[in-house]
Amino acid sequence: MTTVHVRLRIDLGPACSIGPGKVALLEAVDRGGSLSGAARDLGMSYRRAWLLLEEANASFDEPLTRSSVGGAGGGGVELTEFGRALVTTYREFERSVDALGAKHFRSLAARAAAPKRGAPTRRRPLNRR
Amino acid sequence: MTTVHVRLRIDLGPACSIGPGKVALLEAVDRGGSLSGAARDLGMSYRRAWLLLEEANASFDEPLTRSSVGGAGGGGVELTEFGRALVTTYREFERSVDALGAKHFRSLAARAAAPKRGAPTRRRPLNRR
């Protein structure tokens, strides 16, 4: 049984684009409450995670994350309600698109070529559900 | 009014992935009947177009294009029925996903940040409808 999987990126305006990278970062921040932990989770440098979060936060007229205070390690980062709404909307949309893709491409997927023996399989993005 | 636009790529198997580049190439081949013309249309090298078409044709158990014979310039390339079905399915799916995206992200799109003055706008892929 072949599964159809759709990779997507959504442009909500000329300065606002959301894809799997930013969403996975927001989810990792939500899980661990820190940007350095999120960077580690996703196997990216702290600098790259910081820049990506910066870009995500500048994409809307309201921030997706805020600094949290207290806790054993001092201050951390947490999602705002708006940030959490974005993640939820993106993941719901992704599930709908995957279902729609399976419907549209069912007969074409049955004709997909078999992978060559020994050929590397295509890398799947991290933290994809 | 903000428009929501979804960029997508569909994985139909470990050795079969279809995105805007291959579909635009197939459409250009269909319009002009030649690979060199299609490469010119899309602003890519003949070599790159050839490799992309090769990869697209190897993605399914049936070819998407075939050599055509005759015509003023000698032989060319044309889409098979299967290739044409793939292009149609992809474009229909894309329209459905854009409509679904507009529904899911309507309220979030209204919160997208305004582009900075003088900032470059995000490049849109070629031949996107």
pLDDT tens per residue, range B59-113: 999 999 999 876 555 569 999 999 999 999 999 999 999 999 999 999 999 999 8
pLDDT tens per residue, range B26-62: 999 999 999 999 999 999 999 999 999 999 999 999 9
Q: What is the pLDDT of residue B115?
A: 78
Looking up tokens 């309220």 gives B107
For residue A36, tell me if it sits in a domain. yes
Q: Which of residues 83-112 of B touch A (CB under 8 A)?
A: 85-86, 89, 92-93, 96-97, 100-101, 104-105, 108-109, 111-112
Helix, strand counts (H, E) of chain A: 5, 4
For residue A16, tell me if it sits in a domain. yes
Closest CA relative to residue A25, chosen from A64, A52, A54, A61: A52
Provide the shortest C-alpha distance from residue A87 to chain B (in Å). Answer: 11
Structure tokens at A16: 């606002």
Q: What is the pLDDT of residue A26?
A: 98
Q: What is the pLDDT of residue B75?
A: 65
For residue A3, tell me if it sits in a domain. no
Distance CA A10, CA A97 (A): 12
Spans of chain A below 70 pLDDT:
1-2, 70-75, 117-129
For residue A46, tell me if it sits in a domain. yes
For residue B115, tell me if it sits in a domain. no
Closest CA relative to residue A108, chosen from B39, B13, B8, B50: B13
Provide the 8-state DSSP code for B118.
T
pTM: 0.81
Distance CA B125, CA B129 (A): 10
Q: B6 versus B117: which is more confidently predicted?
A: B6
Parent domain of B99: 10-107
How close are the terminal C-alpha atoms of chain A, in Å?
18
For residue A128, tell me if it sits in a domain. no
| Closest Cα in chain B to A8 | B8
Q: Which of residues 34-53 of A touch B (CB under 8 A)?
A: none
**Number of domain units in chain B:** 1
